[in-house]
Each structure stands twice: as structure tokens, then as C-alpha cells.
Amino acid sequence: MTMQKRLRPSSYGGECFATKSDADIGAAYGRWVRMTELIREQARACDELGSPMYGELLRLVAEDNELGGQSVPVLRGHEDDPGPSALALRLLGSVHRLVLSGAVPELAAFYPSVGGEWDPVLGWDAFQQVLESHREEIRVWLERHPQTNEVGRAAALMGGLLRLPAALRLPVRLFEFGASAGLNLRADHFHYSGTDGARFGPEDSPVRLDRAWLGVPLTPWPVQIVERAGADIEPLDPTTPDGGLTLMSYVWPDMADRLARLRGALEIAREVPAPVRRQDAAAFLRGLVLAEGAVTVAWHSIMWQYLSAEGKAAAEQAIAALAALATAAAPFAHLSLEPGRRSPDSPREFLVVLQVWPSGERRVLGTAAPHGIPAVWE
């Protein structure tokens, strides 16, 4: 039976009246509740990772979503977005972009990234106004993948590279998939320090990753990167104002250290070329060849979750194909920082994993924080 019902705006994508069956209404409401809970989960993650501003802001968004406020028409149509697609961060990044561009001075006054100070009452009022006045622009940016290109993750990646077996410590051909703007392809131009006194990279680098390494001491060796390139389905050019603006927009505005690292990496990107192709992971990997006298390294960080099951399988097949071609003279290494479990019963961790060929040896080198620092070696 079809019946006329008045719905809470949050219960069916913002429609106040709809002619729907009870089953349709219940299913739609369930999807909206699920989306709201995912926003709350991201709020808790922001709290844990050191962004009280975004934690508070997302709780307000979730409440607004339930009450039928300005977030409802903005988020309509995204009820079925999977959790790993990070809808909440896409929303916040879309608004932060407006702030950084100078388009919403009424909200910029509450964003530390542009010199403001967060206020949960006045800031939320201004945020709601922006959701209303820039609704369509925000909805366009919601369709994009988040492009964090977190520079701090270079601590885990470069640390992993420094732990290559002695036989593989050759000139490095470095390739990254899911590279965003390719900032971490310049990781050898960052400066790192560990709690054991280990240091690596130029002392005068504008990117300083202090206390980047904990745990088992790491002995740096003179890494020489002779080739570097990446791939991403939506690559950004970090040397352009628009590319830099987009990258900045996905950094959480109350995390000053992350913002400083990104600004430094953008400076390096203007001096050190690292082309990033518009390709998916599997196509990029299939195009790689190994070279004698160098170790070919394919690395990635916190991007595996964005691949479909088919995309993951294709990427794994391409890695296996490269591994099968590896020799002592032309070795291959796969290095990653991704969330995972050591066994089915183990807790979820952000694992730094290195596998090398032709030996095929695979090691969990350690763990890292989601934004990379610190990397804790085992």
C-alpha cells in the first residue's frame, strides 16, 4: 500500500513530504541513519587524532542532519557512500577550500589555518550559513576523492626504504600509486629525526619530521633516488596555486604541524620534479619495468581502502607480475603503510610492510600513526 507521509527531513534525504511505501521509507531512513553514524565515527577519529575542532564540528553536523538542518540538502544523494570514501572529510575539505580561498570571510574568522579561532557556537552558525549560501559548490566538491597527500606518512615510507636489505641498497627507482600530488615522492628531500638520534635528509629542508622514528634504532644509508614518478586517478599539480589550495583544504585547520609540513612540501615540489600520471593503480603498475643496477620500489600509503575489490585484485596481480621478473641484478620491492591486521584475531593497526624480490621475503617493519608520525619500528 502506498501512503502519504510527512517525514523528518533527515529520514529521507531532506524530503519533508513523500509518497512512499512503508518499506521504502524504512529503508531510506536506515540509510540516512547509517550515514549520520559514519559522520559521528569520523568525529571520534578526529578527536583521537588531535583535531578537537573537527571532532566538535562533525558532531554538530550529525545533530543537524537528524534535525533537518542545512546539512541535509548538501548531503542528499550520499546516503549510500561507503565508509572508506570519507564523506565527512570530503564535506569538511570542501568548506575548508572556501575558507582558504577567501570566499567566506564570515567563517574564516573561526579557522586557525587562516589565523582565526574556533568557537563552537559562533563558528557553527557561520558554518551553517556557508552550507546554505554555497550549497551547490560544496556538492560539486563532494564528488571528488579526498586528496590529503599527508606528508607525515613519509616517516613510515622513508623509514621502510632505509630498512631495505643490504643486497638491495642500490640506486632507487621510486614509483607511487595513489600518489595524489606526488609530494611523498620527494621524501628524500625531507629531514627526519628519531628518538635514538638517527637523522636523515637535508638539515635545511623546509619539511622537518621531528621524532619521526621510535623503537628499534634505524641506521640510515645514502639513498640515491634516480627516478621518481606516480599515478593517481585524480592527480593534482602541487606547483600550481589551485593544486596547493586543494591539498591545503584537506588538512585539518587546527593541526598546525601538518599545515607547516604541507607548506614546506609544496615549496620542495616547485624545485624537484616528480610527474604524477592520471592512471589507476593496476594500469600504472603494469606499465613499470625493472632495471638492472637499481632497485625498483613501488610504495603507497592509506589509499588501498579507496580501491574496489576488482581494483585491488588487479593491482595485486600486477605486483605479482613484477615480482616474477625480479632478479638479483634487477630487484623489486613493495612498501606500504596501510591499515590491516597481522592475523584475523589481531587488532587493526597501521602497518608498515615491506616485501622484496627475488627472495620474496615479507616483513612487518612496524606501525605508524594514521598521519605517519611516529613510525615505531620492531
Contact 151, 265 (CB under 8 A): yes
pLDDT of residue 23: 63
Which residues lie below 8 Å from residue 115, measured CB to CB, with a gap of 6+? none
CB neighbour class for 45 (10 Å; exposed up to 12, middle 13-18, buried from 19): middle
Return the axis-axis angle of helices 122-133 and 135-142, rounded to nearest 10°: 80
CATH topology assigned to domain 151-377 = Rossmann fold (3.40.50)
Angstrom distance (rounded) from CA 214 to CA 143: 38
pLDDT at 373: 95
Grouped pLDDT means (10 residues each) for the chain, 378 residues: 36 44 70 94 96 98 94 95 91 98 98 97 98 97 88 97 97 97 98 93 97 91 97 96 96 96 98 97 98 98 92 98 98 97 92 98 96 95
What pLDDT does 19 receive? 46
Nine-digit cell at 374? 611516529
CA 229 to centroid of chain Cα atoms? 18
Q: Provide the residue ranges of all domains of the chain, joining segments of one domain with +.
A: 2-142, 151-377
CA distance 130 to 143: 18
